[in-house]
């Protein structure tokens, strides 16, 4: 029996992960964490027989204690303790944002395998995280669909045989649009993703293409491939999830329905490849697969992310934090769609990048980037 701690258990990935855990006789949920949704977390804990939960928000934790007989930890420290003391075989980190970085490091320090959906922890702290993976000797299994695909296409690759990675992008709801026509794009327009159903933050990141920028940085750290060898290609059908180029001319692709239960199950049951409710792709009806280059002039976040990744040090942390703050402001109706890229660029200009020294330094860079965005939004209001 493999015990699983699910962090971000009330979210899009978290609830799908609990579905996978509930359906597999060899998996058992042992600890759950969320931000503030106490009712959702308590219901999930009851449904899965979990006795220890954590909520970041203290008021939500108090409400959970009134309704739940098990142990309720609180605050970011509570989430870290849940991971450190939970004894899980595998920690699925599906927290949204760089708030997940400490939990990623805690899971590796605790000697658990890590199923990582929280790409922001690799973007912000890639070098620290990969060093922690090496020290722990445990597996880090990506849940992000493109990286799950790449990991599978890379399995067994001989030394020196890989010449590049290709990450696919659906293009989001604004594919084909010009920057001018996006000035007054609404929150509802940006949330209308054509192929994937996900949490609000990553859905906006998909509309700006920042999600692909974060994924390029994620792939660089996960697979140790140079930035110039990681391509992004727009593929509106979201059927091909990732591809690996080999020196003999082969391009290996991972192909399937866009359904996150497949990569979640792969990571939680590795190397078993347990059955899921998702069928393999039927090939009797005509199938059209299109590929086109991304429009970097309209979707500036992708180029900003690549530049921050290449710069390294604290730059990706600044990029990520500024993006989180700008996306939150956009979702709150405070700024326009095109302001997201402008604010990220401003934070990268104003917060000078430093060589990486510590987690505390990354968190300080993160806070400074958020402050730049907050001040800019307030001044413009
Ligand atoms: P959601 O917004 O749906 O869920 C986020 C989860 O994180 C919720 O359970 C939320 O709790 C919890 N949470 C928020 N803040 C904190 C915090 N500070 N500490 C602990 N828990 C917190 O997001 P998604 O499930 O869409 O995404 C989760 C992660 O997975 C992101 O990093 C995203 O990029 C990545 N990912 C998601 C994909 C998808 O298909 N959704 C695909 C690939 C990657 P509460 O409900 O209480 O707010
Ligand atoms: Mg992805």
Mean pLDDT of 323-351: 98
Of the ligands numbered here, which is closest to the C-alpha atom of 212? 2
Residue nearest to atom 16 of ligand 1 (CA): 35
Mean pLDDT of 21-47: 98
Say if residue 195's pLDDT is above 90.
no
pLDDT in tens, 212-239: 999 999 999 999 999 999 999 999 999 9
CA 206–ligand 1 middle distance (angstroms)? 15
CA 361–ligand 1 middle distance (angstroms)? 24
Q: What are phi and psi of 222, to 5 degrees?
A: -60, -45
Q: What is the mean pLDDT of the chain?
A: 97
Cβ atoms of residues 73 and 56 within 8 Å: no
Residue ranges making up the domain that contains 310 = 148-380
Residue 35 sits in a domain of what CATH number?
3.40.50.720
Q: DSSP secondary structure string, 152-221?
A: HHHTTPPTT-EEEEEEEE---TTTT--HHHHTT--HHHHH--SS----HHHHHHHHHTHHHHHHHHHHHH
Say if residue 115's pLDDT is above 90.
yes
Cβ atoms of residues 336 and 183 within 8 Å: yes
Give CA–CA dist 74/349, Å, rounded. 36
Residue nearest to atom 13 of ligand 1 (CA): 35
Around 200, how many Cα atoms within 13 Å sit in the side-chain half-sphere?
A: 11
Whether residues 237 and 353 share a domain: the answer is: yes
Sign of the alpha-carbon torsion through 367, 140, 273, 245: positive
Mean pLDDT of 162-174: 97
Domain end (from 83, 110, 142): 142
Spacing of C-alpha 66 from chain mean position? 32
Say if residue 44's pLDDT is above 90.
yes
Q: DSSP secondary structure string, 60-123?
A: HHHHHHHH-SSEEEEHHHHHHHHHHHS--SEEEE---SGGGHHHHHHHHHTT-EEEE--HHHHH
Say if residue 381's pLDDT is above 90.
no
Ligand 1 neighbours by CB, cut-off 6 Å: 8-14, 33-37, 56, 79, 94-96, 99, 117-120, 144, 196, 198-199, 201-202, 260
Domain end (from 142, 176, 198): 142
pLDDT in tens, 143-160: 999 999 999 999 999 999
Mean pLDDT of 38-43: 98
Cβ atoms of residues 323 and 344 within 8 Å: yes
Say if residue 266's pLDDT is above 90.
yes
Whether residues 41 and 179 share a domain: the answer is: no
């Amino acid at each position: 029996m493999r015990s699983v701690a699910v962090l971000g258990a009330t979210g899009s990935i978290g609830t799908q992960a609990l579905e996978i855990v509930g359906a597999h006789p060899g998996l058992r949920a042992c600890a759950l964490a969320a931000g503030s949704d106490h009712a959702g977390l308590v219901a999930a804990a009851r449904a899965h027989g979990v006795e220890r939960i954590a909520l970041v928000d203290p008021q939500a934790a108090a409400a959970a204690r009134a309704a739940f007989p098990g142990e309720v930890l609180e605050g970011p420290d509570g989430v870290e303790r849940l991971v450190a003391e939970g004894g899980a075989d595998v920690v699925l980190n599906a927290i949204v944002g760089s708030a997940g970085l400490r939990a990623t490091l805690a899971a590796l320090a605790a000697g658990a395998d890590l199923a990582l959906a929280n790409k922001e922890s690799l973007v912000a702290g890639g070098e620290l995280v990969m060093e922690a993976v090496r020290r722990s000797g445990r597996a880090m299994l990506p849940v992000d669909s493109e990286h799950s695909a790449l990991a599978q296409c890379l399995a067994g690759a001989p030394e020196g045989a890989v010449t590049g990675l290709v990450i696919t992008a659906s293009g989001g709801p604004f594919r084909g649009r010009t920057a001018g026509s996006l000035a007054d794009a609404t929150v509802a327009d940006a949330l209308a993703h054509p192929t994937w159903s996900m949490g609000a933050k990553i859905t906006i990141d998909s509309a700006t293409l920042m999600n692909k920028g974060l994924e390029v940085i994620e792939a660089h750290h996960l697979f140790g491939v140079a930035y110039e060898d990681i391509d992004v290609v727009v593929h509106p059908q979201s059927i091909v999830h990732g591809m690996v180029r080999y020196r003999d001319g082969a391009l290996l692709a991972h192909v399937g329905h866009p359904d996150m239960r497949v990569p979640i199950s792969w990571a939680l049951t590795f190397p078993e490849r347990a059955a899921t409710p998702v069928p393999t792709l039927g090939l009797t009806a005509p199938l059209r697969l299109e590929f086109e280059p991304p429009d970097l002039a309209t979707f500036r976040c992708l180029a900003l992310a690549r530049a921050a990744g290449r710069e390294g040090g604290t730059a990706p942390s600044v990029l990520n934090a500024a993006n989180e703050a700008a996306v939150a402001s956009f979702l709150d109706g405070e700024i326009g769609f095109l302001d997201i890229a402008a604010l990220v660029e401003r934070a990268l200009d104003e917060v000078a990048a430093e060589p990486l020294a510590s987690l505390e330094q990354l968190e300080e860079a993160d806070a400074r980037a958020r402050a730049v965005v907050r001040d800019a939004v307030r001044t413009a209001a």
